[in-house]
Structure 1
Amino acid sequence: MQIPAEAVAATSLIEVVRISALPVERGAPYPGRTVAHWAEDEAVDALTLIGSLPGGAQHRCGFSPGWSIRAYDGSLDLALFEAAFCFSCHEIRMHGTAVPPALATQFFDADTPPAQALLALFRAATP
């Protein structure tokens, strides 16, 4: 997966969200409950893992993401980006101030070890 390098370098906190519905409009935050906050080494490790997700082909499921991450810089004002992950259709949708349109929709291979490790992190963060 491609994440804007500037956003990765600026991220100081990641909020993990268990998504409960799709947003009412494109670019709005995904609704759901915040289940974890990752800072410092946890945030770096998570972004490294996400950045290592291998590309893949789209699968049809209608995009039903289970988790998203919101990355914040030190000011914690607006999210630099939010990325929602659907492990059924292997799609990632990303939006935010740091996201160029070319990176807004990406596909990954959800059956690879990095993707399964990310899914395990999400599940471990969800009570």
Structure 2
Amino acid sequence: MQLSVEAVAATALLEVVRISALPAKRDAPYPGRTVTHWVGDEAADALTLIENLLGSGKHRCGFSPGWSVRAYEETLESVLFEAAFCFSCHEVRLHGTAVPPDLAVQFFDADGADAQALLSLFREAAR
């Protein structure tokens, strides 16, 4: 999966959200419960998994994401990007100040090892 190199380098904190609904408007944060915050090695490891997600073809499910990560820079003032993951249709939607339009919608192999490791991290964070 492609992320902005600058955004990854600037990320100081990842907020993990268990999504409860789709946002009311485009580019709004996905509503849900924040389950954890990752910093340091935890954030770096999660970003590496995300960047290593293998591409996939489009699957149809209607896009019903279960998890998102919000990346913040050191000041925590604004979200660099939010990535919402649907493990059913293998789609991830990104928005934020560090997301160029051509990276806003991507598809990943939800059954791949890195995707399954990321999903395990999400589930563990929610316990």
1:11, distance to aligned residue in structure 2 (A)? 0.2
- In 2, Cα distance between equivalents of 1:104 and 1:98: 10
Equivalences for residues 12-91 of structure 1 within 5 A: 12-91=12-91
- In 1, Cα distance between equivalents of 2:35 and 2:22: 17
1:37, distance to aligned residue in structure 2 (A)? 0.3
- Partner SS state of residue 60, structure 1: coil
- Structure 1 ranges of 4+ moved more than 6 A: none
Amino acid at match of 2:98: A
- Aligned-residue sequence identity (percent) comes to 72
Amino acid at match of 1:102: D
- In 2, Cα distance between equivalents of 1:98 and 1:114: 23
Q: Which residue of structure 2 lines up, in the alignment, with residue 98 of structure 1? A: 98
- Partner SS state of residue 80, structure 1: strand
1:58, distance to aligned residue in structure 2 (A)? 0.9
- In 2, Cα distance between equivalents of 1:109 and 1:44: 21
Q: CA RMSD in A?
A: 0.4
- What stretches of structure 1 of length at least 5 have no aligned partner? none
